[in-house]
Amino acid sequence: MKTGIVERIVNGGWGLVRSTEGIVFLTGVIPGETVEFEIKEKARGILWGRLLKIISSHHSRVKAVCPYYEECGGCCFQHIEYTFQQTIKTSIFLDDLKRIAGLERRIDRYIVSPPFGYRIRARMKPASNNYIGFIKKSTNQVLQINNCLLFNERINRFLTAWNNQKSPPFFYQYDILFNPDNEKLYVHLSHPPSTKTEIILKAYSDVVFTWKGNEQAGISHIKIGNFKYLTSASLFFQNNFFMLENLLNLVKQYLCSHDTAIDLYSGVGFFLPLLCSHSKQTIGVENSSFAVKLASMSFPEASIYNMPVEKFDFPPADIILCDPPRSGLSNIVKKKIKDRNYKSIIYISCNSATFCRDLRFFLDHGYQIKDINLIDLFPQTSHFEIVSNIILT
């Protein structure tokens, strides 16, 4: 058993404590707290600990409201008052910015969200008894969840009903989307149901079920501000419904009147109508053919290429927006952007480490940061979204 002071929280939500054996990472702590802990595991030179006792607690410590909090791998900041989560997320980002991008700079804005009930999308997995839930902390087992405080209440009604069945059918993945516009719930299943399972699904008369091969049956319209999108539970859609207009407004401040705008990783076209309203020509690039089909139907004025961004022949443009997956931009994509000397890059990222790695590349090739904002799309977790404008000097 050891004691130590939590120095800070790093990317991934881990609290860093120095011990005689080296740096130990712990969950469930807040910077400044004195804690008692044990070392659980040493893996590739990193020490992972387990919190035993809080000796002196931080004033922002609160009792987590979710009964699953101790076990569930979904949230890691519920023991921290929401306003203080902002301080911690900002410091995680500034730490990555300094360590990875070599840049010391303040952020320009931090936009907060309602702290609970914000999620309209969820990916669930089956537990051993087929009841659905989330991966348990530090395991690959699934914990049955009947109610998640981050979800819109309509998703929770479905979870409770599904998990109340005596013996639910097995699917290895459930992609759930609540559409606040038509108030319908869409559940995309990992494979087609058997005839027997189809009878079970029919009992959920207010849920639209789809599976591989019949995705078309689950297409729906969703309205954000003045823009109307087509989407489906099987595709990526921004998860925090309360923050979507804010996200568009952050991007809007970087736009003026352009000839050509490019939207890399355009998905179902979340940013396309905004780019179209400021540009004579808007080009999207996305590798999911279904997403491209829906985006082309929603925004016929945009030209959308269905291909990996790596294979795209980058044309000249005034502005390029990139919203890549967590892995960030590949070296090929970064080089293609740099070779075209785009004057303005709008980089949107949900991963601070890969964002800072990519930012370093652009700083090394004549770019500088004009604006960086954090927008909290993921309260109670250690994640946040970065919205930035990087310009050629």
Contact residues: ligand SAM, CB under 6 A: 236-238, 265-268, 270-271, 285-288, 291, 308-310, 323, 325
**Contact by Cβ (8 Å): 375, 387:** yes
CA distance 138 to 89: 22
Q: Is 168 helix (H, G, I), strand (E, B) or coil?
A: coil
Cβ closest to ligand SAM, residue 88 vs residue 333: 333
Q: Is 358 helix (H, G, I), strand (E, B) or coil?
A: helix
**Contact by Cβ (8 Å): 69, 78:** yes
CA distance 317 to 332: 18
Q: How far is the CB of 114 from ligand SAM (least distance, A)?
A: 20
Place of tokens 């008369």: 205
Cβ closest to ligand SAM, residue 14 vs residue 355: 355
Cβ closest to ligand SAM, residue 268 vs residue 317: 268
Q: How far is the CB of 373 from ligand SAM (least distance, A)?
A: 16
Q: How far is the CB of 91 from ligand SAM (least distance, A)?
A: 24
Q: How far is the CB of 263 from ligand SAM (least distance, A)?
A: 7
Cβ closest to ligand SAM, residue 85 vs residue 351: 351
Cβ closest to ligand SAM, residue 37 vs residue 347: 347
CA 340: distance to chain centroid? 29
Cβ closest to ligand SAM, residue 69 vs residue 299: 299
Q: How far is the CB of 345 from ligand SAM (least distance, A)?
A: 14
Residue 282, Cβ neighbours under 10 Å: how many? 28
Q: How far is the CB of 348 from ligand SAM (least distance, A)?
A: 7
Q: How far is the CB of 31 from ligand SAM (least distance, A)?
A: 30
CA distance 5 to 103: 27
**Contact by Cβ (8 Å): 111, 118:** no
DSSP strand pairing (367-375 vs 109-111): parallel
**Contact by Cβ (8 Å): 207, 186:** yes
CA distance 108 to 170: 47
**Contact by Cβ (8 Å): 385, 361:** no
Residue closest to ligand SAM, measured at CB: 267
Cβ closest to ligand SAM, residue 13 vs residue 328: 328
Q: How far is the CB of 311 from ligand SAM (least distance, A)?
A: 8
Cβ closest to ligand SAM, residue 344 vs residue 354: 354
**Contact by Cβ (8 Å): 118, 243:** yes
Q: Is 159 helix (H, G, I), strand (E, B) or coil?
A: helix
